[in-house]
Structure 1
Amino acid sequence: MLTKNKCPGSGYAEILIEAGMVTTGCLQSVLSGKAYAKALFCLKSVTETLERLLFESFMDMQQNTSEFNSTTLMTLVSIASRKTLEDALNDQSLMDCIDQYIRFEESVRTGVLGKTATFWLSVVDHLRLVMMLLYSVKTNNLMLFHECCGQMAELFFAFDGPNYSR
Structure 2
Amino acid sequence: MEVKNTLSENQSTSTDTAVKELAGEFLKFKQVVRQGKLGKTAQFWIQYCDFVWNILPCLRATKTNDLDLHIISLEKMCPLFFSMDHKNYARYLTAHIFLLLLNFETSHPGA
TM-score band, normalised by the shorter chain? Answer: 0.5 to 0.7
Determine what percentage of the aligned residue pairs are the same residue.
31
Normalized against structure 2, the TM-score is what?
0.56
- The reply to whether residue 122 of structure 1 matches residue 42 of structure 2 is no
- The reply to whether residue 159 of structure 1 matches residue 107 of structure 2 is no
Which residue is 1:139 aligned to? 64
Misfit runs of 4+, over 6 Å: none
Indicate which of 16, 21, 26 corresponds to 1:91: 16
Mapping for residues 17-166 of structure 1, pairs under 5 Å: 91-157=16-82, 158-159=85-86, 163=89, 165=93, 166=96
Counterpart code for 1:103 = K
Give the 3 Å change call, closer, same or farther, for CA 145–95 of structure 1 in structure 2.
same
How many pairs align? Answer: 77
How far apart are residue 126 of structure 1 and its match?
0.5
How far apart are residue 94 of structure 1 and its match?
1.0
Question: Where do 5+ consecutive residues of structure 2 fail to align?
Answer: 1-11, 97-111
Query: What CA distance in whole angstroms lies between the structure 1 residues aligned with 2:48 and 2:81?
Result: 15
Query: Which structure's CA Rg is the greater one?
Result: 2
Question: Where do 5+ consecutive residues of structure 1 fail to align?
Answer: 1-86
The SS at the match of 2:29 is helix
Query: What CA distance in whole angstroms lies between the structure 2 residues aligned with 1:156 and 1:115?
Result: 20
**Higher RCO (C-alpha 8 Å, min separation 6):** 1
Q: CA RMSD in A?
A: 2.4
Counterpart code for 1:159 = H
